[in-house]
Chain A
Amino acid sequence: MTVTVTTAGLLPTGDGPYDVTVVGAGVVGAAIARELAGYRLRTALVEAADDIGEGTSKANTAILHTGFDAVPGSLEARLVREGHGLLAAYAARTGIPLERVGALLVAWDDEQRAVLPELLAKAVRNGYHAARLIGAAELRAREPHLGPGALGALEVPDESIICPWTTPLAFATQAVRAGVHLHLGCRVRGVGSDADGHTLSTSRGPLRTRYLINAAGLYADEFDRFLGHEEFTVTPRRGQLIVFDKLARGLVDHILLPVPTAAGKGVLVAPTVFGNVLLGPTSEDLDDRTATGSTAEGIRLLREKGRRIVPALLDEEVTAVYAGLRAATGQEDYRIRHHPGRRYVTVGGIRSTGLTASMAIAGHVTGLLAELGLDLGERRELPELTLPNIGEAFPRPYLRADLIARDPAYGTLVCHCEQVTLGEIRDAFSTTLPPRSVDGLRRRTRARGGRCQGFYCGAAVRALFEKERP
Chain B
Amino acid sequence: MTRTERHVDVLIVGAGPAGLAAGAELADAGAGHVEILEREQEAGGIPRHCHHGGFGERRTGGRPRGPYARGGTDGPAYARRSVAAAVRAGAVLRTGVTVTGWAGPRTLDTTGPTGLGRITATAVLLATGARERPRTARLIPGTRPAGVYTTGELQQAVHLYGQRIGTRAVVVGDEPVARSAVATLRAAGVQVAALVTGRPDTPFRVRRSGLPMLTGAVVTALHGRTRLSGVELRHDDGRTTTLRCDTVVLTGDFVPDNELARRGGLTLDPGTRGPAYDAAFRTSRPGVFAAGNLLHAVERAHVAALEGRAVAVPVLHRLAGTDLPAGAGQPLLVDAPLRWIAPNVTGSGGERPPGGRFVLRTDRRLPRPLLLVSQGGRELHRQRLLLPAVPDRPFHLAAEWLDRVDPLGPAVRVSAL
Please report A residues at the B interface, Cβ cutoff 8 Å: 243, 246-247, 290, 292-296, 298-299, 317-322, 395, 398-401, 404-405, 408-409, 411-413, 416, 419, 438, 451-456, 458-460, 462-463, 466
Question: Which one, B40, B41, B113, B153, contacts A411 given CB within 8 A?
Answer: B113
CB distance from A446 to the nearest CB of B (A): 15
Tell me if B2 counts as interface (CB < 8 A to partner A).
yes
Question: Which one, B113, B135, B150, B161, contacts A463 given CB within 8 A?
Answer: B161
What are 9 A-B residue pairs whose CB atoms fall within 8 Å in the complex? A295-B141, A321-B139, A399-B1, A401-B1, A401-B3, A411-B114, A416-B39, A452-B131, A452-B134
Contact with A along B117-154 (1 / 0, CB 8 A): 00000000000000111111101011110100110110
Contact A404–B141 (Cβ < 8 Å): no
Question: Which one, B96, B141, B143, contacts A296 given CB within 8 A?
Answer: B141
Q: How far does the alpha carbon of A462 sit from the alpha carbon of B163 in the complex, in Å?
A: 9
Question: Which one, A318, A411, A455, contacts B111 given CB within 8 A?
Answer: A411
Contact A401–B116 (Cβ < 8 Å): yes
Q: How far does the alpha carbon of A63 sit from the alpha carbon of B132 in the complex, in Å?
A: 32
Q: How far does the alpha carbon of A395 sit from the alpha carbon of B101 in the complex, in Å?
A: 14
> Which residues of B326-364 are within 8 A (CB) of A?
none
Least CB separation from A423: chain B residue: B113
Question: Which one, A319, A321, A419, A463, contacts B163 given CB within 8 A?
Answer: A463
Binding site secondary structure of chain A = mixed
Q: How far does the alpha carbon of A400 sit from the alpha carbon of B1 in the complex, in Å?
A: 7
Tell me if B215 counts as interface (CB < 8 A to partner A).
no
Q: How far does the alpha carbon of A294 sit from the alpha carbon of B225 in the complex, in Å?
A: 13
Query: Contacts A401-B116, A458-B157, A459-B157 hold; do A299 and B139 have CB atoms under 8 A apart?
Result: yes
Contact A419–B100 (Cβ < 8 Å): yes
Q: Tell me which residues across on chain A come within 8 A of B2, comparing CB atoms.
A: 401
Please count how many residues in chain B sit with their CB below 8 Å of the partner chain's CB atoms. Answer: 45
Question: Which one, B112, B136, B137, B142, contacts A293 given CB within 8 A?
Answer: B142
Contact A399–B161 (Cβ < 8 Å): no
Least CB separation from A400: chain B residue: B1
Q: How far does the alpha carbon of A430 sit from the alpha carbon of B98 in the complex, in Å?
A: 26
The 6 closest A-B pairs by CB, nearest first: A453-B134, A408-B113, A459-B156, A458-B153, A459-B157, A455-B152
Least CB separation from B113: chain A residue: A408
Contact B163–A293 (Cβ < 8 Å): no
Q: Tell me which residues across on chain A come within 8 A of B153, comparing CB atoms.
A: 454-455, 458-459
Q: How far does the alpha carbon of A125 sit from the alpha carbon of B160 in the complex, in Å?
A: 61
Contact with A along B78-121 (1 / 0, CB 8 A): 00000000000000000010101000000000011111100000
CB distance from A158 to the nearest CB of B (A): 30
Contact A416–B98 (Cβ < 8 Å): yes
Task: Pick the most buried of A400, A438, A454: most chain B CB atoms within 10 A of its CB.
Answer: A454
Tell me if B242 counts as interface (CB < 8 A to partner A).
no
Please report B residues at the A interface, Cβ cutoff 8 Å: 1-3, 39-41, 96, 98, 100, 111-116, 131-137, 139, 141-144, 146, 149-150, 152-153, 156-157, 160-161, 163, 220-221, 225, 255, 257, 259, 262-263
Question: Which one, A318, A408, A458, A462, contacts B137 given CB within 8 A?
Answer: A318
Contact A293–B111 (Cβ < 8 Å): no
Contact B131–A455 (Cβ < 8 Å): yes
19 new A-B contacts, CB < 8 A, other than A398-B98, A455-B150, A459-B153, are A246-B259, A247-B263, A292-B144, A293-B144, A294-B142, A296-B141, A299-B141, A401-B116, A404-B111, A404-B116, A411-B111, A411-B112, A455-B131, A455-B132, A456-B131, A458-B153, A462-B157, A462-B161, A463-B161
Q: Tell me which residues across on chain B come within 8 A of A298, comparing CB atoms.
A: 141
Q: Tell me which residues across on chain B come within 8 A of A317, comparing CB atoms.
A: 133, 137, 255
Q: Tell me which residues across on chain A come within 8 A of B262, comparing CB atoms.
A: 247
Q: How far does the alpha carbon of A247 sit from the alpha carbon of B96 in the complex, in Å?
A: 24
CB distance from A313 to the nearest CB of B (A): 14
Least CB separation from A294: chain B residue: B141
CB distance from A7 to the nearest CB of B (A): 16
Contact A454–B150 (Cβ < 8 Å): yes
Q: Tell me which residues across on chain A come within 8 A of B137, comparing CB atoms.
A: 317-319, 451, 453
CB distance from A395 to the nearest CB of B (A): 8
Least CB separation from A299: chain B residue: B139
CB distance from B260 to the nearest CB of A (A): 11
Q: How far does the alpha carbon of A243 sit from the alpha carbon of B257 in the complex, in Å?
A: 18
Query: Contacts A317-B255, A405-B115, A455-B131 hold; do A412 and B96 have CB atoms under 8 A apart?
Result: yes
Contact B115–A411 (Cβ < 8 Å): yes
Contact A320–B150 (Cβ < 8 Å): no
